[in-house]
Amino acid sequence: MCGIVGLHLREPSLEPRLGELLTAMLGQVVERGPDSAGVAVYGDPRLSPPGRTVVSLLGVTPAEAEAALPGAVALAADATTVVHGTGDLPAAVAKALPQATVIGSGNGMAVLKGTGNPVRLAESFGLASVTGWQGMGHTRMATESAVTPEGAHPFSVGPGQCLVHNGSFANHATVRRELRAQGVEFDSENDSEVGARFVAHQLAQGADLEKALKLLCERFDGFYTLLVSTGDSFAVVRDAIACKPALIAETDAWVAMASEYRALDVLPGIENARIFEPEPEEVYVWRR
């Protein structure tokens, strides 16, 4: 049992409230995942300044990152260090900071993770002050791997891509072996990372997000609700029997997804929203 929340804004006037709304949503699913939490936010100018490449890291401090990466700026957010700079920053990080774990990279997106109470983590991230046009959050109740920042969601393993997962993949070890045979590397033993790596691999091969998620449904066994985001998309899919809870709410101003209605009830205009439960193995995609 884990908690998922996500918000895709259509109305630009709401962008200054993205972090405030995500914080409120995350606070409503704490009981579903008290072990750890993480968020991905798109469009915040402090975390991901326009024209700069962003890399989110575990295992290094901001001072270490700035010393190793001349010209880069590093910010602390609990266990995460967010670095922004120019050029091929992921390659520079791999060379200069081999001890670091990259948990997100791209333009316009930052990933923040930590362990402990999700409400405390949101405060430590400064989430309420974040602005932007899209975000997702996850509260984790660990089942398949240890409680560590690396095991927290979201999993961001392709440029601008993120995945959060409620459930478990029964055949993740088999799919992990298949992906490793194709040169895909992993950072944790978390089953959800396998799903994220699979989707990223399909996107890199030329599939669009809808096709990648349809292929995931064909290949993965188990119970799952997934929320997947990219630099321009927001998508939801569930397993064949829709075992894990999910609700979608949609208005002219925003699209939101959550594991429980109470996380949607904090949103402005919820009383006028179209609210529905996603159908099994149907991929729902909204684009910017």
Cis before 154 (ω within 30) = yes
Using left for φ > 0, alpha for ψ between -120 and 50, and beta otherwise, residue 183 falls in left
Radius of gyration (C-alpha) of the chain in whole angstroms: 17
DSSP 244: S
In whole angstroms, what is the distance from residue 25 CA to residue 28 CA? 5
8 Å CB contact between 229 and 222: no
Helix 191-204 to helix 172-181 angle, to the nearest 10 degrees? 40
SS3 63: helix
Respond yes or no: is residue 243 known to be catalytic: no
Q: What tokens appear for 200 in the block? A: 């990223």
- Which residues touch 165 (CB under 8 Å, ≥6 apart)? 2, 4, 138, 153, 155, 191, 192, 195, 224, 225, 226
Q: Give the number of other CB atoms < 10 A from CB of residue 7.
A: 27
3-state class of 256 per DSSP? strand
How far apart are the C-alpha atoms of 166 and 190, rounded to whole Å?
Answer: 12
| CA torsion through residues 261, 12, 278, 128, sign | negative
Structure tokens at 193: 């990372």
Catalytic-role residue among 2, 162, 217, 243:
2
Residues carrying an active site annotation:
2
